[in-house]
């Protein structure tokens, strides 16, 4: 079964995608990889077979003919909530009825498949950043709870960790032969959190120019266009970071979009971002690290709300004659249900777009 991720556009129309490229992998299978504790822990990437990581799942949307589709990676954080990348569900729009998560090391022969019932995307910041679509974070709501695999916690990303190593996990392309569909993990180094991602990656414009002939969507551009991309592209403040491309780092590529960026906190992998974009090359299918959508304040607020009030519009909704709303106090969201029948009223959406109990017409 063919699986693929979309190729969204990055600065200056550069082709991007995400997954775990492991052409140089030579390490033995590890039950639980270390996160930056030694120089040889996950060089190039290793198969991640441990059931303790079954909360990292493959996301698959079957095509209309039923003979293929497109895939991304996600992370289970509640029994019914999977965090992934926005572009995985919007480019093109995901068809919920044909989408499922696949649990287990091998996405082609998974231990379990679970259908998806709905999708929500972070929309308060809808433009800018590496992909041009704002904060590249989304969630899938599952049609049935998953309670028999370990789940992960998410937390705000710490931008003051440049130089530290993180772990990326995904089901995507592992080499130039496009082998994929098994869960791989690799260490990546945080390179920068602000400014031009091309400057962070290449250091100088001259080095960027030297590499341009191998960068598929830059190689035909004029020097003026290349300089504009190098100087004027910008990471989305608080919500994007460049990782990878350091000695010993794994490389992300197609199919791992939405896959987790883990940081070890208190000995436990904590989800602090998702795979968003990398550069594609003519010599190596993906190269030079990538841009991660990290969890800044707006992303955390979005995730907290979806966990507490799944798929609920900003103004609430009517469930029969019950007004369902979502209250917010600090970082705490709570779903509230008001029975309008008990008040002798009916539930309706008022002029401000909010669900409320109003007098019967």
| Domain contains 167 | yes
- Looking at the fold, whether 264 and 198 belong to one and the same domain comes out as yes
- Looking at the fold, whether 129 and 222 belong to one and the same domain comes out as yes
Choosing from 252, 277, 300, the residue where a domain stops is 300
Domain containing 90 — which CATH number?
2.40.10.120
| Domain contains 100 | yes
- Looking at the fold, whether 32 and 173 belong to one and the same domain comes out as yes
CA atoms within 13 A on the CB side of 1: 18
- Looking at the fold, whether 255 and 321 belong to one and the same domain comes out as no
Q: Which pTM was predicted?
A: 0.87
- Looking at the fold, whether 276 and 338 belong to one and the same domain comes out as no
Choosing from 250, 265, 300, the residue where a domain stops is 300
pLDDT for residue 66? 81
- Looking at the fold, whether 164 and 188 belong to one and the same domain comes out as yes
Place of tokens 């989408």: 99
Local structure of 194: helix, strand or coil: coil
| Domain contains 310 | no
- Looking at the fold, whether 331 and 253 belong to one and the same domain comes out as no
pLDDT in tens, the chain (361 residues): 222 222 232 222 223 333 333 332 222 233 444 443 333 332 346 889 999 999 999 999 998 888 788 899 999 999 999 999 999 999 889 999 999 999 999 999 999 999 999 999 999 999 999 999 999 999 999 999 999 999 999 999 999 999 999 999 999 887 787 778 899 999 999 999 999 999 999 999 999 999 999 998 799 999 999 999 999 999 999 999 999 999 989 998 888 899 999 999 998 999 999 999 989 899 888 899 999 999 999 999 999 999 999 999 999 999 999 999 999 988 799 999 999 999 999 999 988 899 999 988 7
- Looking at the fold, whether 175 and 288 belong to one and the same domain comes out as yes
| Domain contains 85 | yes
Cβ-Cβ contacts under 8 Å for 74 (sequence gap 6 or more): 56, 57, 58, 59, 82, 83, 84, 88, 101, 140, 258, 259
- Looking at the fold, whether 207 and 69 belong to one and the same domain comes out as yes
- Looking at the fold, whether 87 and 15 belong to one and the same domain comes out as yes
| Domain contains 2 | no
- Looking at the fold, whether 169 and 86 belong to one and the same domain comes out as yes
Closest CA to 188 of 278, 266, 72: 278
| Domain contains 305 | no
Choosing from 252, 275, 300, the residue where a domain stops is 300
| Domain contains 95 | yes
- Looking at the fold, whether 321 and 347 belong to one and the same domain comes out as yes
pLDDT for residue 255? 86
Residues 107, 325: Cα–Cα separation, whole Å: 37
| Domain contains 125 | yes
Closest CA to 70 of 139, 18, 3: 3
pLDDT for residue 294? 98
User: Domain range spanning residue 177?
Assistant: 9-300
Q: How many domains, in total, are found in the chain?
A: 2
Local structure of 39: helix, strand or coil: coil
CA dist list (Å): 189 to 130, 231, 250, 312: 18, 23, 9, 37
Hey, what are 243's tokens? 């990782």
pLDDT for residue 115? 98
């Amino acid at each position: 079964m063919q699986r693929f991720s979309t190729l969204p556009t990055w600065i200056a129309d550069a082709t991007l995608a995400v997954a775990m490229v492991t052409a140089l992998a030579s390490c033995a299978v590890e039950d639980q990889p270390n996160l930056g504790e030694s120089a040889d822990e996950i060089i190039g990437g290793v198969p991640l077979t441990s059931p303790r990581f079954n909360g990292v799942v493959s996301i698959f949307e079957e095509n209309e003919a039923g003979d293929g589709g497109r895939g991304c990676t996600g992370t289970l954080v509640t029994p019914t909530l999977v965090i992934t990348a926005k572009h995985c569900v919007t480019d093109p729009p995901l068809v919920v009825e044909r989408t499922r998560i696949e649990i287990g090391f091998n996405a082609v022969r998974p231990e379990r498949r679970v259908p998806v019932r709905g999708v929500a995307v972070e929309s308060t910041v809808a433009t800018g950043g590496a992909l041009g679509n704002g904060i590249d974070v989304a969630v899938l709501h599952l049609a049935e709870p998953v309670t028999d695999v370990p789940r992960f916690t998410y937390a705000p990303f710490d931008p003051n960790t440049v130089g530290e190593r993180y772990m990326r996990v995904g089901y995507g392309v592992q080499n130039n032969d496009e082998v994929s569909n098994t869960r791989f993990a690799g260490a990546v180094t945080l390179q920068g959190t602000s400014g031009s991602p091309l400057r962070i990656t290449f250091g100088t414009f001259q080095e960027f120019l030297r590499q341009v002939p191998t960068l598929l969507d830059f190689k035909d551009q004029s020097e003026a266009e290349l300089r504009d991309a190098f100087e004027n592209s910008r990471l989305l403040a608080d919500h994007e970071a460049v990782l990878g491309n350091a000695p010993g780092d794994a490389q992300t590529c197609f199919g791992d979009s939405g896959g987790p960026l883990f940081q070890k906190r208190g000995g436990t992998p904590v989800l602090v971002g998702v795979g968003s974009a990398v550069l594609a090359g003519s010599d190596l299918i993906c190269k030079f690290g990538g841009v991660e959508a990290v969890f800044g304040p707006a992303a955390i607020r979005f995730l907290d709300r979806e966990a507490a009030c799944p798929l609920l519009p900003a103004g609430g909704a009517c469930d029969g004659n019950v007004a369902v709303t979502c209250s917010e106090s600090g970082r705490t969201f709570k779903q509230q249900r008001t029975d309008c029948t008990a008040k002798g009223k009916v539930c309706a959406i008022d002029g401000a777009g909010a669900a409320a109990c109003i007098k019967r017409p």
